[in-house]
């Protein structure tokens, strides 16, 4: 290749790499800026994601229509002007006093704020991938007729930024520094885009002929609507599958923070493999891998298997990689000539947006469980083969519908047979009930939709089978996840389960239903905290962040006023339903109130110095609300704490060691601190509903701890020198991850 052509290819690839990296680093940066203003509700992240997806779609539409209407020279001039105008909005920052005054306008305020602060810069960056590939196709470069290889550079940039933000950027750079560096990188990208435009402008005489082509739309042959819908569908399925597998793994398998990064990284990697000019993974390897991994994942789903975690994660992610790559490979093989490049990317973006809308907005309304993941799994199995199945006779079409029904009937028959063997573990029974039909299902992989319908039918039928947590009594879904009430296998307790995290436990026996269980047992750390508080309350008012089943209400006394802060309305409804839990109904407090919403935002409206005890119980699951563990949050708690009051914090967590964070916060605020880590509970006590737990107590003076000072199990926290204090613009989850 000539040096000039080699330089041009490298210039375009570097520009696309930088723009994609900017695209995937600005999203988490802006969302982190907004959290202290709107609280830690998932609605903040979700609304941001919908905004960014909509702006990305708008960027692709801009690239498509300006290419068709303006031609290269006019389009390049317009784009350079917009690049300069967008720079006026830099650096990106959001005023700390800009929070909405009412909850009713929070979503509209958020969308408006995003549009005014980052809308134009993000829009301009989002246009780069499709726009520069279109420009490249107008050049005299030897690869101009097939510029899709540049899409690989774009996705590599996205992948690198995605991995770098939580690992390198967020732990080491505060938000103002991040914003300034992003602004500098934006200027660098603008210079690279200008260089790309100048190269094409001066390339050679053939550029004029290619550049004038978009000015004659009649010469173009636009793809048929059927082909466009196929592109949208093939982009929709991997997008939905990515969000579905992320939600399922994070809620039902492993409480691992930042787990969402891995599926998103795999999603981007499948684009890299699919659009690479060399075929790195051959179809004869890929298609059997999709079928086998789909069968394995189906068996895992129907059996509710959660151990060993590493193997479960690996199988789900392997299927996602193979299935996503198969769909994206079909897209790459079906890509149109360069003159229709922008409409192709517009359809891809539309499919991605629809996948996100389906999972984030539609599925929570339609389904009580995470049904969108099995649906995406079945759709993937119907689309993964690049060669159409043979035979489309009426008999074959009838079998396509009859075979799935037959597999469900066989599964029901096997379930009736193995139900007699009650001594067998649940997973062993599931292996028989569903494993045998799945072996038969593999025989129809040559007909993808028969294969897909059979897997979907088995997944749907498993919903009615009893689960590992016992018999499900109630299932409800909200924006914050799926909550289940179950009757445990012993028949003695009601459980409140969110994903695979237990949030409440209560005896069914009326004589024992007043006993606080699990992490809140009277013989555990929290029981001792309430002994101190009830013996000498600094104020008769108690605040509890995190409701769960309402077990802490068992400690209330008649002369007290309790306020619970809970963000999930489904949890509130379950805790108030005496068919499942009666802690709130039996609460002895003179006044008991539940504040629905983000605790930090709600606490701002509470009177100063009114609470004698503040209990923080919001850190036991995977997606901990980081904004409740910052210097600014602790200052808020202290402003609401009465003189002599206590702050009790539940930090039992399988994946995060939150003790160092509280050490740093306590030292920074010059507070007295004590920790009780009850890491081992005798088997007999566990059978009676007591769980191991870890609690930290903070107070202004050590004398406020009272009898806790005499208990050797309560030890003072010591500062870890290498961990900075968490603030609203700095946190580092990876630094406290339990790697072992």
Q: Greater confidence, 282 or 668?
A: 668
Question: Model confidence over 236-246: pLDDT tens digits?
Answer: 999 999 888 88
121 — phi, psi (to 5°)? -60, -45
Give the residue-averaged pLDDT of 38-55.
69
For every residue of 219-245, DSSP letters joined together read: G--PPPHHHHHHHHHHHHHHHHHHHHH
Q: What is the CA radius of gyration of the chain?
A: 29
Domain ranges of the chain: 1-218, 520-736
- Predicted confidence at residue 39, as pLDDT, reads 59
Q: Is the peptide bond before 552 cis (omega within 30 degrees of 0)?
A: no
Give the residue-averaged pLDDT of 678-690.
86
How many CA within 13 A on the CB side of residue 100? 17
Question: Model confidence over 538-566: pLDDT tens digits?
Answer: 999 999 999 999 999 999 999 999 999 99
CATH superfamily of 520-736: Vaccinia Virus protein VP39 (3.40.50.150)
- Predicted confidence at residue 41, as pLDDT, reads 54
Within a 10 A sphere around the Cβ of 728, how many other Cβ atoms? 19
- Which among 627, 670, 669, 624 has a CA at the least distance from the CA of 651? 624
- Which among 536, 537, 526 has a CA at the least distance from the CA of 562? 537
User: What CA–CA distance (Å, rounded) separates 37 from 58?
Assistant: 27
- Predicted confidence at residue 723, as pLDDT, reads 81
Give the residue-averaged pLDDT of 395-419.
74
- Predicted confidence at residue 193, as pLDDT, reads 92
Question: Model confidence over 169-181: pLDDT tens digits?
Answer: 888 888 889 999 9
Structure confidence at residue 503 as a pLDDT band (50, 70, 90): confident
- Predicted confidence at residue 215, as pLDDT, reads 42
- Predicted confidence at residue 704, as pLDDT, reads 92
Q: Is the pLDDT of residue 218 over 60?
A: no
- Predicted confidence at residue 135, as pLDDT, reads 85
Angle between helices 175-202 and 3-38 (to 10 degrees): 150
Output the six-digit token pair for 253.
């398998």
CATH C-level class of 1-218: mainly alpha
Looking at the DSSP bridge assignments, the partners of residue 650 are: 695
Looking at the DSSP bridge assignments, the partners of residue 674 are: 697
Q: Residue ranges of the alpha helices (H) in 500-652? A: 525-535, 569-576, 599-603, 631-640
Pairing status of strand 481-487 against strand 471-478: antiparallel
User: What CA–CA distance (Å, rounded) separates 131 from 725?
Assistant: 43
Average pLDDT, the chain: 83
- If phi over 0 gives left and psi between -120 and 50 gives alpha, with beta otherwise, what is residue 159? alpha
Q: Greater confidence, 416 or 668?
A: 668
Q: Is the pLDDT of residue 107 over 70?
A: no
- Secondary structure of 454-514 as H, E, C letters: HHHHHHHHHCCCCECCEEEEEEEEECCEEEEEEECCCCCEEEEEECCEEEEEEECCCCCCC
Question: Model confidence over 470-487: pLDDT tens digits?
Answer: 678 898 887 777 888 988
Q: Is the pLDDT of residue 676 over 90?
A: yes
- Predicted confidence at residue 557, as pLDDT, reads 93
Question: Model confidence over 596-609: pLDDT tens digits?
Answer: 888 888 898 999 99
Q: Is the pLDDT of residue 282 over 90?
A: no
Structure confidence at residue 645 as a pLDDT band (50, 70, 90): very high
Query: Do residues 734 and 171 touch, judged by C-beta distance below 8 A?
Result: yes
Q: Which of 67-81, 303-317, 519-533, 618-632 has the highest mean pLDDT?
A: 519-533
Pairing status of strand 541-545 against strand 501-507: unpaired
* 578: helix, strand or coil: coil
Q: Is the pLDDT of residue 635 over 90?
A: yes
What residues contact residue 59 under an 8 Å CB cut-off, 6+ apart?
123, 124, 125, 126, 127, 130
Q: Is the pLDDT of residue 280 over 60?
A: yes
User: What CA–CA distance (Å, rounded) separates 131 from 719?
Assistant: 52
Structure confidence at residue 514 as a pLDDT band (50, 70, 90): very high
Question: Model confidence over 459-470: pLDDT tens digits?
Answer: 787 766 656 666
- Predicted confidence at residue 97, as pLDDT, reads 52
The pTM score is 0.78
Structure confidence at residue 618 as a pLDDT band (50, 70, 90): confident
């Amino acid at each position: 290749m000539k040096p000039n052509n080699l330089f041009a290819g490298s210039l375009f690839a570097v520009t696309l790499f930088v723009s994609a990296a900017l695209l995937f680093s600005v999203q988490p940066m802006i969302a982190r800026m907004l959290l202290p203003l709107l609280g830690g509700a998932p609605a903040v992240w979700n609304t941001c994601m919908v905004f960014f997806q909509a702006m990305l779609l708008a960027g692709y539409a801009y690239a498509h229509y300006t290419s068709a209407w303006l031609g290269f020279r006019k389009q390049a001039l317009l784009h350079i002007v917009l690049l300069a105008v967008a720079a006026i909005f830099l650096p990106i920052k959001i005023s700390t006093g800009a929070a909405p005054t009412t909850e009713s306008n929070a979503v509209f305020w958020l969308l408006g704020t995003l549009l005014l602060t980052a809308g134009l810069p993000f829009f301009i960056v989002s246009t780069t991938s499709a726009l520069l590939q279109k420009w490249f196709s107008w050049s005299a470069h030897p690869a101009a007729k097939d510029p899709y290889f540049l899409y690989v550079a774009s996705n590599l940039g996205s992948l690198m930024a995605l991995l770098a933000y939580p690992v390198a950027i967020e732990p080491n750079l505060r938000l103002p520094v991040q914003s300034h560096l992003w602004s500098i990188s934006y200027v660098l990208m603008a210079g690279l885009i200008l260089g790309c435009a100048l190269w094409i402008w001066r390339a050679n005489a053939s550029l004029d002929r290619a550049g004038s082509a978009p000015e004659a739309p009649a010469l173009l042959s636009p793809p048929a609507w059927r082909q466009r819908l196929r592109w949208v569908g093939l982009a929709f399925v991997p997008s939905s599958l990515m969000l579905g597998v992320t939600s399922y793994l994070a809620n039902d398998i492993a409480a691992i923070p930042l787990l969402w990064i891995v599926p998103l990284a795999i999603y981007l990697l499948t684009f890299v493999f699919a659009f690479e000019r060399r075929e790195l993974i051959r179809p004869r390897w890929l298609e059997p891998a999709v079928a086998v991994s789909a069968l394995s994942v189906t068996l895992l789903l129907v059996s509710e298997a959660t151990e060993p975690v590493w193997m479960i994660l690996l199988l789900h992610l392997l299927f996602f990689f193979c299935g996503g790559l198969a769909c994206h490979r079909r897209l790459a093989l079906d890509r149109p000539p360069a003159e229709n490049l922008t409409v192709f990317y517009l359809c891809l973006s539309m499919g991605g947006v629809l996948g996100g809308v389906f999972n984030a907005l539609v599925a929570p309304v339609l389904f009580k469980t995470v049904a969108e993941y099995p649906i995406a799994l079945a759709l993937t199995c119907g689309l993964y083969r690049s060669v159409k199945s043979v035979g489309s006779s009426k008999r074959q079409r009838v079998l396509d519908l009859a075979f799935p029904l037959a597999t469900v009937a066989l599964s029901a028959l096997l379930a009736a047979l193995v139900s007699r063997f009650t001594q067998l573990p649940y997973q062993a029974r599931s292996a028989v009930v569903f494993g045998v039909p799945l072996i038969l299902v593999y025989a129809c992989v040559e007909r993808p939709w028969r294969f897909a319908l059979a897997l979907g039918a088995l997944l749907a039928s498993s919903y009615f089978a009893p689960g590992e947590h016992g018999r499900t009594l109630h299932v409800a879904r909200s924006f914050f996840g799926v909550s289940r009430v179950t009757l445990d296998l012993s028949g003695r307790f009601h459980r409140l389960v969110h994903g695979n995290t237990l949030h409440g436990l209560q005896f069914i026996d009326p004589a024992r239903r007043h006993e606080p269980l699990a992490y809140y047992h009277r013989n555990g750390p929290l029981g001792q905290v309430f002994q101190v508080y009830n013996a000498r309350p600094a104020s008769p008012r108690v605040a509890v962040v995190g409701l769960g089943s309402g077990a802490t209400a068992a400690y209330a006394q008649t002369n007290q006023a309790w306020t619970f802060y809970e963000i999930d309305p489904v949890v509130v409804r379950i805790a108030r339903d005496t068919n499942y839990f009666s802690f709130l109904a039996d609460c002895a407090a003179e006044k008991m109130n539940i504040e629905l919403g983000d605790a930090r935002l709600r606490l701002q409206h509470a009177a100063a110095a009114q609470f004698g005890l503040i209990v923080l119980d919001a850190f036991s699951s995977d997606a901990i609300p980081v904004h409740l563990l910052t210097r600014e949050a602790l200052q808020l708690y202290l402003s609401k704490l009465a003189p002599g009051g206590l702050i009790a914090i539940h930090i039992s967590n399988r994946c995060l060691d939150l003790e160092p964070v509280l050490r740093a916060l306590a030292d920074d605020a010059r507070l007295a601190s004590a920790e009780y880590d009850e890491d081992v509970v005798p088997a007999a006590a566990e059978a009676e509903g007591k769980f191991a737990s870890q609690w930290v107590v903070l107070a202004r003076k050590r004398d406020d701890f009272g009898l806790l000072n005499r208990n050797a199990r309560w030890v003072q926290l010591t500062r870890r020198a290498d961990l900075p204090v968490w603030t609203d613009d700095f946190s580092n989850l990876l630094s406290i991850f339990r790697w072992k």
